[in-house]
Amino acid sequence: SLLTAKGKPTYLGSVTRNARKLEVLKFAGSEEVLFLDSKGFPVGEGSDPKGVQIETSLSNLRLNTSLPPKTFAFVPPKDAKPMEEAVNLEMQNAMLQVGQKAPLFEVRNPLGGTISLAELLKENRAVMVNFWSTGCAACLVEFRKLQKLNEEMQGKGFVLIALNSFDDPDSVRKFLKQNGYTFTVGLSGANGGKKESVDDLFKAQAYPSNYLVGQNGNILWRNFGYEEAEVRQVLEKVGIK
């Protein structure tokens, strides 16, 4: 074999075979040439520098053998988590945490006037702060559930305020009218004249995001998305059901 040939090799150039570029070497004292792949590994040898003879050896080869499904089964490490679950956990950890004080804010109402979280907390035992946009499909699906919750809890010490930092006031007004939503809406970003969006103050990581704020201003619950069972359980703890 040329792999054990003695003598100084001479580079003869390169050839292309089956869209594969191979480098050609010739050793002194031999008429044969050695072909190397792009990484410098020998892939064959032959007497014609323009041709290549590649030999492949297979061991433990069995034909037409039945393979059980477990042959291809993937067993993840014990501490592995599904990608979606890991991303969700990372995003939740980046939000304001339960027990923290919620940032106080005052925003423009697209229907007129302003809305203050401090004033809402004076009048209610829990305020849900929702972050949304008209271009967020998940937000629109969630709104049907939030509208129902807001209607059910009306007069029981609960209020929902949905904050939008993306859409202009006319688009928000049109959206509310077309869909018949009656919960309170605020303009929380530049669309409401804010230099710093309320979304950033609350560290909203995705849309929709939701926070439940207690009357003392502390965050009772938070998540991106709406988990109705969790929300109702927290509301019951503060006497709202």
Q: Give 203-219 pLDDT, tens digit per residue.
A: 998 899 999 999 999 99
pLDDT at 131: 96
Matching residue, tokens 């929380």: 188
Put the strands of the sheet holding 33-36 in their side by side order.
9-17, 20-27, 33-36, 42-46
Burial code (b: 16+ CB inside 10 Å, e: under 16) for 41-65 equals: ebbbbbeeeeebeeeeeeeeeeeee
pLDDT in tens, 56-81: 677 887 888 888 888 888 888 888 77
- Check pLDDT > 80 for residue 192: yes
Residue 134 three-state SS: coil
- Contact in structure between 128 and 225 (CB atoms under 8 Å): no
pLDDT at 51: 56
Cis peptide leading into 208, omega within 30 of 0? yes
pLDDT at 83: 65
pLDDT at 177: 94
pLDDT at 225: 87
What is the phi/psi pair of residue 90, to 5°?
-65, -40
pLDDT in tens, 133-190: 999 999 999 999 999 999 999 999 999 999 999 999 999 999 999 999 999 999 999 8
Cβ neighbours of residue 215 closer than 8 Å, sequence gap 6 or more = 121, 124, 125, 126, 238
pLDDT in tens, 14-52: 888 777 788 888 777 777 777 788 777 777 777 665 555
pLDDT band at 7 (very low <50, low <70, confident <90, very high): low
Nearest residue to 134 (alpha-carbon basis) of 98, 96, 178: 178
pLDDT in tens, 99-139: 999 999 999 999 999 999 999 999 999 999 999 999 999 99
Separation between Cα atoms, residue 172 and residue 185, nearest integer Å: 9
pLDDT band at 230 (very low <50, low <70, confident <90, very high): very high
pLDDT at 50: 59
Token couple for 240: 């709202």
pLDDT at 48: 63
